[in-house]
């Protein structure tokens, strides 16, 4: 049977990989595949919670309002990742927004079916709990860094995190293209501060920039910067 490029393959995302094989047909019947364009908002902060999203292809940024004009990017989601799970709390509204920064396909599961999935699939529940625990640890670490780590250390940490998350392409660049504004939002830095820090890193031959692509030339120095800045904070 020919593969439909507009539908997920029921074997890649966080949901399908951790559920019982016998549950996959139910997922197939319940899922809704959404084709998203670059810059398209999947849901926004304050929207009523209706379901959970899984990234089949493309890249999504999860972000939150910082003040009237700024946003803070909390994380990036890639193929296989879950999005919208922060809406599983006691509130009935998404506390964050999700926007595609690379076109792709999103698999959407409505909340009643998701709750049925939790009741039937014990392994999925265990994996989800571990995922929440890991994400909570990362969130606490990021908030601590935002409060205590100067911009240079936060930018260095961001480059390392992006490399670990997305890997490298054939040219050795981090396999995600980000605007300077998204980098500023991810590091919690003012655009001007980020721009100066990136220029310093380029002059010191720590990184290389080509358009929106970043190549780490000296990861040891970046790691050292994060350690020094953490100790200074």
User: In a 3-state reduction of DSSP, which class is residue 33?
Assistant: strand
**In the predicted model, what is the mean pLDDT of residues 46-55?**
94
For 119, phi then psi, to 5°, come to -70, -30
The dihedrals phi and psi of 4, each to the nearest 5 degrees, come to: -85, 115
Tell the burial category of 220 from Cβ atoms under 10 Å away from its Cβ (0-12, 13-18, 19+): exposed
Q: What pTM does this model have?
A: 0.88
Position 230 pLDDT exceeds 60: no
Q: How far apart are the first and last CA of the chain?
A: 57
Instruction: Say what the pLDDT of residue 1 is.
Output: 30
Q: How far apart are CA 212 and CA 174, in angstroms?
A: 10
Contact 59, 76 (CB under 8 A): yes
pLDDT digits (tens, 9 = 90+) for 81-135: 999 988 887 778 999 999 999 999 999 999 999 999 999 999 999 999 999 898 8
Identify the band that residue 3 occupies on the pLDDT scale cut at 50, 70 and 90. very low
pLDDT digits (tens, 9 = 90+) for 182-215: 999 999 999 999 999 999 999 999 999 999 999 9
Taking the C-alpha atoms of residue 129 and residue 117, their distance in angstroms, rounded to an integer, is 14
Which domains are seen in the chain, by residue range?
A: 21-145 (2.60.120.10), 149-228 (1.10.10.10)
Q: Are strands 51-65 and 71-77 parallel, antiparallel or unpaired?
A: antiparallel
């Amino acid at each position: 049977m020919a593969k439909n490029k507009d539908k997920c393959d029921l074997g890649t995302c966080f949901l399908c990989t951790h559920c019982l094989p016998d549950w996959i047909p139910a997922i197939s019947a319940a899922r809704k595949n959404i084709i998203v364009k670059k810059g398209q908002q999947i849901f926004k902060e304050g929207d009523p919670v209706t379901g959970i999203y899984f990234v089949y292809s493309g890249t999504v940024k999860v972000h939150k309002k910082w003040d009237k004009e700024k946003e803070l990017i909390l994380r990036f989601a890639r193929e296989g990742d879950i999005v919208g799970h922060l809406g599983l709390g006691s509130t009935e509204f998404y506390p964050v927004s999700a926007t595609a920064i690379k076109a792709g396909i999103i698999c959407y599961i409505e909340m009643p079916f998701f709750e049925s999935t939790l009741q039937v699939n014990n392994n999925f529940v265990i994996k989800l709990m571990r995922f929440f625990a890991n994400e909570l640890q990362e969130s606490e670490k990021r908030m601590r860094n935002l409060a205590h780590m100067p911009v240079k250390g936060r930018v260095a940490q961001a480059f390392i995190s992006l490399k670990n998350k997305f890997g490298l392409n054939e040219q050795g660049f981090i396999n995600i293209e980000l605007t300077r504004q998204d980098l500023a939002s991810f590091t919690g830095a003012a655009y001007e501060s980020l721009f100066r820090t990136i220029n310093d890193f380029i002059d010191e031959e720590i990184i290389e920039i080509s358009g929106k692509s970043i190549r780490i030339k000296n990861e040891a120095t970046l790691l050292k910067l994060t350690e020094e800045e953490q100790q200074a904070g």
